Amino acid sequence: MARTTSERLARALGPKYDVKRLIGRGGFAEVYELWDKDLDRRLACKVLHPEIAWTPGMLARFRQEAKALARLQDPAILAIHFTGDGEGLVYYVMPFVEGESLAERLRRRGPYSADEALKIAEPILQALSHAHAQGLVHRDIKPDNVMVEA
């Protein structure tokens, strides 16, 4: 019987982590909530879609993304804890952000005032500036990819 991505991820990560739930899905990857049993903390795990993980160039692109994120040190950019592969999956683990996407927040509460929008935009722009200074370009800035803390 074929196992789900969640089940395969649990096997790949081993007994130290519980895979709690799918928290997001995009064109190239899914993000799962994890529980680190040793350190009693929530984490997030980005898993490249298995059906595209091993296509030419995709694995290299995903690993390059993880390496690029690992080089960036900015409060608005999530750190990478570790990368891995197993059970036919390729993934990286990062902090869990409590909150919702900017897109969800906008749908729920409507547009922001100019002052509120600037408060949200400033750390994003600082993070992008930091990334650009390192020679990196995000290529997918949109409200769905911006987390707003609760």
| CA atoms of 131 and 15, how far apart (whole Å) | 35
Q: Are 56 and 104 within one domain?
A: no
State the total domains in the chain. Answer: 2
Name the burial class of residue 45, with classes exposed (0-12), middle (13-18) and buried (19+) by CB atoms within 10 angstroms of its CB: buried
Q: Are 150 and 90 within one domain?
A: no
Q: How far apart are the first and last CA of the chain?
A: 40
What percentage of the chain carries pLDDT values higher than 70? Answer: 98
pLDDT band at 66 (very low <50, low <70, confident <90, very high): confident
Q: What are 14-47's pLDDT values in tens digits?
A: 999 999 999 989 888 999 999 999 999 999 999 9
Q: Are 46 and 74 within one domain?
A: yes
Last residue of some domain: 96, 123, 142? 96
| CA atoms of 82 and 90, how far apart (whole Å) | 11
Q: What are 81-138's pLDDT values in tens digits?
A: 999 999 999 999 999 999 899 999 999 999 999 999 999 999 999 999 999 998 888 8
| CA atoms of 53 and 120, how far apart (whole Å) | 33
| CA atoms of 98 and 84, how far apart (whole Å) | 24
Q: Are 20 and 43 within one domain?
A: yes
Q: What are 4-13's pLDDT values in tens digits?
A: 999 999 999 9
R_g of the chain computed on alpha carbons: 16
Q: Is 31 helix (H, G, I), strand (E, B) or coil?
A: strand
- 79 touches 95 (CB < 8 A): yes
Q: Are 68 and 11 within one domain?
A: yes
74 a catalytic residue = no
Any idea what the CATH number is for the domain that residue 2 is in? 3.30.200.20
Q: Are 85 and 104 within one domain?
A: no
Q: Are 81 and 128 within one domain?
A: no
| CA atoms of 28 and 51, how far apart (whole Å) | 10
Last residue of some domain: 61, 78, 96? 96
| CA atoms of 38 and 15, how far apart (whole Å) | 10
* Nearest Cα to Cα of residue 84 among 139, 39, 32, 150: 32
Last residue of some domain: 96, 111, 137? 96
Q: Are 55 and 123 within one domain?
A: no
The residue range of the domain holding 65 is 1-96
* Active-site option among 18, 36, 140, 144: 140
